[in-house]
Amino acid sequence: MFENGIKPKIIVANWKMNPVSFKEADNIIRTVKNGIKISENVKVVICPPYFYIPNIKGGKSFDIGVQNIFWEDSGAYTGEISAKMAKEMGVGYAIIGHSERRMHLGETDAIVNLKINSALKNNVKPIFCVGESQKERDEDKAGDIISNEIEKGLAGVPSGYLVKDLIIAYEPIWAIGTGNTPTSDDIMSMALLIRKVITKLYDRKTADNLPIIYGGSVNDKNATDFVEKAGMEGLLVGGASLNASEFVRIVNLF
């Protein structure tokens, strides 16, 4: 993840189940390729629907990620795609444990753990999502929820994988797609909590070097604050990543 001693900011585009045609997807890709400034200071990862991946070539502009993987390499698992298959397609990253999958598709911490281990085994870098709901936050349980998700999600993951192959994305569920965002201090506090948990599970050096990025209603107006004021090492961008011009502006901020 490090090039020439520089630790780049990581900007991830999560297209979710969008857009509805490859023509639209291609228009976004063309605008992004033409607009972003290629720099060692920024690592861009675009995660489109699986269907579009064979027709998207990142090259020097960006890497390709997937929005989900299954935990087995192959088998009778109708509708699923494995990390091994993703790697064969040239995919380097996988979003794992996104709150929408936990909420709508019943993904548990145990399932997330299986997927993380499968991704790492197949040299696909997990973008491991953790975060609390509004209710959990109101009940002052956010810290416990995130600590539990990390501990269970990383069960059995050797320390050698952590710094070079794992990204943790803090995405408060109540901020996703709502326009509501935590304060910079709140985000910084959660990042410190995440590093504290990683220190307990592994060691301080691993915790200090693990990339932590923020996701939740990111746009070109607040992106700089999340990175510079909250001290995050990148962003997981949802809706704004489908607006190619806005996504380019976000990337070029760094």
Known catalytic residues are: 98, 171
* Distance in angstroms between the alpha carbons of the first and the last residue of the chain: 17
- Which of 157, 152, 150 lies closest to 212, judged by CA? 150
Residue entry with tokens 């639209």 = 24
Phi/psi of residue 116, nearest 5 degrees: -60, -45
CA distances 117 to 74, 164, 202, 230, 232, Å, are 15, 14, 16, 29, 25
Query: CB under 8 Å to 105, separation ≥6 — which residues?
Result: none
